[in-house]
Amino acid sequence: MVTASHNPEEDNGVKLVDPLGEMLTSAWEEYATCLANADEQEIQSILTEICQKEVVNLHLHASVFIGRDTRPSSEKLSQSVIDGVCALGGQYHDYGLVTTPQLHYMVCCQNTQEHYGKATVEGYYQKLSKAFGELTKQACSSGDGQRYLKIDCANGIGALKLKEMEHYFPKNLLIHLYNDGTKEKLNHLCGADFVKVHQKPPLGLDLKPNERCCSFDGDADRIVYYYNDTAGHFHLLDGDKIATLISTFIKELLIKIGQSLKMAVVQTAYANGSSTRYLEETMKVPVHCTKTGVKHLHHKAQEFDIGVYFEANGHGTVLFTNAAEEKIRHMAKEEKDNQKREAAKRLENTIDLINQTVGDAISDMLVIEAILALKGLTVQQWDAIYADLPNRQLKVKVADRRVIDTTDAERRAVTPSGLQEKIDELVKTYRLSRAFVRPSGTEDVVRVYAEADTQENADSLAYEVSLAVYHLAGGIGEPPQPVF
């Protein structure tokens, strides 16, 4: 997939999809890095070495699915991929302009002999819209306003695909697209990443009080929701709120069908403490924490009958094991008890509406809209399920980020010595507080996260932890300043 996701329009890159339609496994990432850095004359020997290590059958036909986003540079780069595949005698299918999750979906369909669905864009639209229609059939009709949604498409591929898909939607889902790519640059002052980072609405979207809105990112694999209240305050419903809504809905249906399927929510250390507390204490749903990065969450979610995972940035999905899926589908067809059968049917349609290969803004949006309609919830009522703890994220420049080593899913620092003890000491001085530090994956900075009972305390704790990092982990430049 030729895309640079939520990055500026002039950037570009590639996302690689593994044969099950999921993200590339870590072992193959190393091969990709090795090939990307190889001199031209080394390429053949490196490819031969990979084939030997992975026992690749070179007599099988190679088939490569290719997609691209709307960046001006994507078409040329996509053509380079095609040239490379042809040079090595492979076959290819060029899907042209698609969202990243759509390409993941195509690969999964193809390699499950279309058991997962038809490997076409139309097949994707039909599967999702049919499941959405079936799921929302019994929704309480609380007027058109309830189902009216404004969507910021980040001036990206999401707009093109939603326009194509719109005529598949039932009449009661009214969507209005903004930042559709006809006027402005991709991701410029808009999109899920902008809204999440700046905690404000995107440019180009007129936000009236209590209107339900969402933003996709540049390649449509992330989504966040938001609204302005009547006092003009901005409210963000990020990946934590989405995971809570979806897992609560699934948990209620599991209780109705009387099946003891093992469900869990997977989060990272960045998940708001209130969401973790609500899930564990109120909903009695187990929560597991992994290192930052979607691949870690996806991998952990595969350990449960049903695994729900979302990063706070809005990237996530739900995974069902084959056994859980078969059990639910069997009950939806054969169950004698009417209530149990209806609940199983809802779960079955939910399974069909979710893109299990990867986070998918279009699919996640339809799941959220269906749940809100079925439960008769407004965006304000969804937001009020729990109140986020105030938090603050800061960065500290250091000479070498490798001096920080972490454990416990990046929640505790092992090195440098004395740093974790200092953080523990600082955390004790604030109510409902926690803090952690982790090295950036790309630059010599250490990321600091702190949360507490008030914004003032969260800011103060983040500042104090930043100072500790600066002094104990080789900070460079000006010392951190208090957050005002």
* Residue 248 DSSP SS3: helix
Angle among Cα 76, 81, 85 to the nearest 5 degrees reads 145
Look up residue 63 and give its amino acid: S
The phi and psi torsions of 117 (rounded to 5 degrees) equal 150, 180
How far is Cα 71 from Cα 160, in angstroms, rounded to an integer? 13
Please name which of 98, 209, 69 lies closest in space to residue 150, comparing C-alpha atoms: 209
Active site members: 5
Q: Is 82 exposed, middle or buried (0-12, 13-18, 19+ CB in 10 A)?
A: middle
What are the start-end ranges of the H helices in 428-477? 455-472
Phi-psi category of residue 15: left, alpha or beta, with phi > 0 → left and psi -120 to 50 → alpha: beta
| CA-to-CA separations, 65 to 109, 147, 164, 357, 363, in angstroms, rounded | 12, 35, 21, 15, 21
Q: How far apart are CA 430 and CA 411, in angstroms?
A: 18
Which residues, 6+ apart, have CB-to-CB distance to 456 below 8 Å? none
Q: In terms of DSSP bridges, do strands 263-268 and 306-310 run parallel, antiparallel, or are they unpaired?
A: parallel
* 213: Cβ contacts below 8 Å, ≥ 6 apart: 149, 150, 151, 152, 201, 205, 207, 225, 226, 227
Peptide bond before residue 72 is cis, with ω within 30 degrees of 0: no
Q: What are phi and psi of 209, to 5 degrees?
A: -55, 135
Residue with the two structure tokens 């200092």:
422
DSSP for residue 386: S
Distances (CA, A) of 47 to 35, 50, 55, 91, 335: 8, 5, 12, 18, 53
**Residue 399 dihedral angles phi and psi, to the nearest 5°:** -70, -40
Q: 373-401: b or e for each residue (b if 16 or more CB lie within 10 Å)?
A: bbeebebeebbebbebbbbbebebbbeeb
Which residues lie across from 448 on neighbouring strands? 394, 437
Phi, psi of 25 (to 5 degrees): -70, 155
Instruction: Using alpha carbons, list the distances in angstroms from residue 425 to 31, 415, 428, 461.
Output: 43, 16, 5, 11
